[in-house]
Amino acid sequence: MCPTSIPPRRSGFRGGGEAGLRLVGPIDLTSEADIARLYDGVPKLWASVHLAGGFAATGVVETDKAALMQQIDMNLVSCFLCCRAAAKAMRGAGGGRIVNVAARPALEPRTGAGMSAYAASKAAVAALTAALGEELAKDNILVNAIAPSILDTPANRQAMPTANYELWPKVDEVAATILFLAGPENVVTRGAVVPVYGRS
């Protein structure tokens, strides 16, 4: 979760070194009250990047209702509530950018075999993004999402030691796509779910 109050200027939205960038947490992103407090504390919100989520690789037979609801809460509910709070704040500030994180199975559901609850929850994030991209455009709020494949992280390397890491997208490469979608240079892209697959 990364709300930021960087002003909408056309140059200099580079992220890390910006004085207006705030990384906050931990909070309960399924709590409306917690999220309201978080967003109320950000003056003149410009961009909100919704990175929170969870993953479960279990087949449908092994996934009970509690496990399904956990995936929906972690991936869809947290995203929806943050989008809602961000939209409210951005309307009062004259616009802004929202970037959500879906996943490859959201765009390619067959790749969600063996993780159907996760795939369904991320597909819901993709649908939410497209709907909000249309709904909020009139308010100068551009809503988009990225859909990563397996990211090249130490945890993923450890979990898949025989994989070809060179094909996986790198974290900084994916971050560059997020920064463009969240930045003032993005003046036309909305409702998109952008694949960030690398060569995988």
Residue 136, token pair as written in the block:
């909020």
**HSE-up of residue 144 (Cα within 13 Å, Cβ side):** 24
**How far, rounded to the nearest angstrom, does the alpha carbon of residue 9 sit from its chain's CA centroid?**
22
- Tell me the backbone φ, ψ of residue 175, rounded to 5 degrees: -60, -35
Pairing of strands 141-148, 96-101: parallel
Residues with active-site annotation: 118
Residue 80, token pair as written in the block:
């929806």
Q: Residue 21's beta-bridge partner residues?
A: 4
**How far, rounded to the nearest angstrom, does the alpha carbon of residue 139 sit from its chain's CA centroid?**
20
Q: Tell me the helices (H) and strands (E) count for the chain, helix number first.
A: 7, 5
Query: Are 149 and 197 in contact, with CB atoms under 8 Å apart?
Result: yes
What is the Cα–Cα distance from 145 to 124, expressed in whole angstroms?
12
Return the amino acid letter for 193: V
Q: Per-residue b/e over 178-197, b at no fewer than 16 CB within 10 Å?
A: bbbbbbbebeeebbbbbbbb
